[in-house]
Amino acid sequence: MGLDKNFLWGGATAANQVEGGVLEGGRKLANIDMLPYGEDRKKVSAGEMEMLEWEEGYYYPAAEAIDMYHHYMEDIKLFAEMGFKVYRMSLSWSRIFPNGDDAEPNEEGLAFYEEIFKELKKHDIEPLVTITHFDVPLNLIKKYDSWRNRKLITFYERYAETVLKRYKGLVKYWLTINEINILLHQPFVGGGIVFKEGDNKEEVKYQAAHHQLVASALATKIAHEVDPENQVGCMLAGGNHYPFTCRPEDYQEAINRDREGYFFIDVQARGKYPNYALKKFEHEGLTIHMKPEDEQILAASPVDFVSFSYYSSRTVSAHEEDYEHTTGNIFGTIKNPHLLSTEWGWQIDPLGLRNSLNQMYDRYQKPLFIVENGLGAVDVPDENGYVEDDYRIDYLRQHIQALKDAVEIDGVEVLGYTSWGCIDLISASTGQMSKRYGLIYVDRDDKGNGTMKRTKKKSFDWYKKVIATNGEEL
Ligand code: BG6
């Protein structure tokens, strides 16, 4: 009984939410650097408002983020102190290929990450690297219309091949594209897509998705060729849908909504388009351009494991308009009367995590990896900067218990667990610093004020004990 002794405990971040230094070391701007703080963030994220330059009167939180670009040694030391076995991080695409279409990579960018991997190795921390976490070099958006264009496959492939070769022996666990299904919900965040007049939006999104899926399969193929030891995963914004009632049409709606996300993972894990998606294209008259060789590319390189983020479940109905809604992780959802919510309206559902693990394991029969889970909350530090975040400990405890139940009672295979935002960072959906996930507090506010000082929270010591006991003591 108990979790495997090699279970990978750790934490997760993304370049754009922690690094800052967006114009340092030869890096150039990316889509994600263009997301302003405030009201317009939503429209820009959705591709409904074009913002391809920094504009007067806006604050762009990613520009400095928590300045990990200059603090990574200190941060890794803290992760090591917690006993991390794995650290999930992403590379910034435009730090390595500043324009995206450059013939040669930026050596300074490559060297920066090499330093990080070496530092992690010193502490016996395995890196889990997301090749792209919500980023596309801005030049690729301006010049090629981003992932709408098939050329993006080639640019991504060149980027993936460069990093896979360069970090051979330093990195073994890879994720090709973060929360790939977000492309359908926030097309600018997930794929640098800005809509134009007259666009058939569904067609644009699924065309971009096809390009990403082919690119992801090519990266998986290269990863295996470069080093057979490499383990490559896909990554889903997870959380299943409950029917609000037992009316059959509500259940049908829940199945359909689950499939919006499963669509991507079905292709990445099974190597071919599911029939329901092909039928959708047919019935809705969507023309998705595919090359004859694509089928073979997808079939040849399914992923080795399936990873996902989990914050909450969602509730749906065939009669959505009849119910009160709340906000989920980017997706809206009907308010589930049986669940409590976070301060941001995300519904807390640890059993939903166990159910998701079971559903995905039944469907894919591949090892799973929970690469994001955590509580975004307002923290109020005392005069020494210390936060007693018992609410976060409770959330994590319940979710880790659910994970253990899935493994120990249901027999699901789980490789590891990385808590999201192990150090406070910029929220992807809102751009806030005040929506904190960290086990480490960072002195920085929503407007960019603060010293950037790092302070351990109460959850830091709690998580350290969880890792030390391999999840026995929660
Ligand atoms: C996931 C993303 O959507 O959830 C992260 O992969 C993000 O980038 C996380 O930060 C939490 O969401 P938010 O909006 O609270 O930052």
Q: What is the pLDDT of residues 136-169, one digit of tens each?
A: 999 999 999 999 999 999 999 999 999 999 999 9
- Smallest CA-to-CA distance from 59 within 89, 28, 38, 82 is with 38
The preferred substitution site among 128, 327, 329, 346 for testing ligand 1, maximizing ligand atoms within 8 Å of CB, is 329
Q: What is the pLDDT of residues 440-459, one digit of tens each?
A: 999 999 999 999 999 999 99
Query: Distance (Å, rounded) from C-alpha 206 to C-alpha 208?
Result: 5
Query: Distance (Å, rounded) from C-alpha 151 to C-alpha 156?
Result: 9
The preferred substitution site among 90, 348, 420 for testing ligand 1, maximizing ligand atoms within 8 Å of CB, is 420
Ligand 1 centroid – CA 179 distance (Å): 9
Q: Mean of the pLDDT values across residues 178-197?
A: 98
For ligand 1, atom 9, which residue shows the shortest CA distance? 428
Q: How many CB atoms lie within 10 A of CB 394?
A: 14
For the chain, percent of residues with pLDDT exceeding 90: 97
Looking from the CA of residue 134, the nearest atom of ligand 1 is 8
Structure tokens at 447: 């407007």
Catalytic residue at 324?
no
Looking from the CA of residue 182, the nearest atom of ligand 1 is 3
**Active-site residue (options: 179, 249, 282, 320):** 179
pLDDT at 331 over 80: no
For ligand 1, atom 8, which residue shows the shortest CA distance? 428
Which of the four pLDDT bands, split at 50, 70 and 90, describes residue 435?
very high
Q: What is the pLDDT of residues 390-417, one digit of tens each?
A: 999 999 999 999 999 999 999 999 999 9
Q: Positive or negative CA dihedral for 23, 34, 38, 424?
A: negative
Ligand 1 centroid – CA 302 distance (Å): 26
Ligand 1 centroid – CA 367 distance (Å): 23
Which of the four pLDDT bands, split at 50, 70 and 90, describes residue 329?
low
pLDDT at 335 over 90: yes
The tally of CA atoms less than 13 A away on the side-chain side of residue 402 is 22
Ligand 1, residues at Cβ distance < 6 Å: 14, 17, 178-179, 237, 309, 329, 372, 376, 420, 427-430, 435
Q: Mean of the pLDDT values across residues 84-93?
A: 98
The preferred substitution site among 309, 392, 436 for testing ligand 1, maximizing ligand atoms within 8 Å of CB, is 309
Q: Mean of the pLDDT values across residues 82-109?
A: 98
| Cβ contact 328:312 at 8 Å | yes
For the chain, percent of residues with pLDDT exceeding 70: 100
- Smallest CA-to-CA distance from 338 within 318, 315, 322, 371 is with 315
Ligand 1 centroid – CA 387 distance (Å): 22
Q: What is the pLDDT of residues 33-88, one digit of tens each?
A: 999 999 999 999 999 999 999 999 999 999 999 999 999 999 999 999 999 999 99
Buried b (16+ CB within 10 A) or exposed e, 438-447: bbbbbbbebe
Looking from the CA of residue 427, the nearest atom of ligand 1 is 16
Catalytic residue at 64?
no
| Cβ contact 58:107 at 8 Å | no
Question: Using alpha carbons only, how large is the chain's radius of gyration in Å?
Answer: 21
Where along the chain do its domains lie?
8-468
For ligand 1, atom 15, which residue shows the shortest CA distance? 427
Ligand 1 centroid – CA 219 distance (Å): 24
Q: Mean of the pLDDT values across residues 270-279?
A: 98
**Active-site residue (options: 372, 383, 408, 472):** 372
Which of the four pLDDT bands, split at 50, 70 and 90, describes residue 327?
confident
| Cβ contact 350:398 at 8 Å | yes
For ligand 1, atom 2, which residue shows the shortest CA distance? 428
Q: Mean of the pLDDT values across residues 336-353?
A: 96
Query: Distance (Å, rounded) from C-alpha 359 to C-alpha 353?
Result: 10
Q: Mean of the pLDDT values across residues 321-332?
A: 82
Ligand 1 centroid – CA 294 distance (Å): 31
For ligand 1, atom 5, which residue shows the shortest CA distance? 428
The preferred substitution site among 135, 179, 344, 375 for testing ligand 1, maximizing ligand atoms within 8 Å of CB, is 179
Q: What is the mean pLDDT of the chain?
A: 97
pLDDT at 216: 99
Ligand 1 centroid – CA 428 distance (Å): 5
pLDDT at 409: 98
Ligand 1 centroid – CA 410 distance (Å): 28
| Cβ contact 134:63 at 8 Å | no
SS3 annotation, the chain: CCCCCCCEEEEECCHHHHCCCCCCCCCCCEHHHHCCCCCCHHHHHCCCCCCCCCCCCCCCHHHCCCCHHHHHHHHHHHHHHHCCCEEEEECCHHHHCCCCCCCCCCHHHHHHHHHHHHHHHHCCCEEEEEEECCCCEHHHHHHHCHHHCCHHHHHHHHHHHHHHHHCECCECEEEEECCHHHHHCCHHHHHCCCCCCCCCHHHHHHHHHHHHHHHHHHHHHHHHHHCCCCEEEEEEECCCEEECCCCHHHHHHHHHHHHHHHHHHHHHHHCCCCHHHHHHHHHHCCCCCCCCCHHHHHHHCCCCEEEEECCCCEEECCCHHHCCEEECCCCEEECCCCCEECCCCCEECHHHHHHHHHHHHHHHCCCEEEEECCCCECCCCCCCCCCCCHHHHHHHHHHHHHHHHHHHCCCCCEEEEEEECCECCCCCCCCCCCCECCCEEECCCCCCCCCCCEEECHHHHHHHHHHHCCCCCC
CATH architecture label of 8-468? Alpha-Beta Barrel (3.20)
Q: What is the pLDDT of residues 288-301, one digit of tens each?
A: 999 999 999 999 99
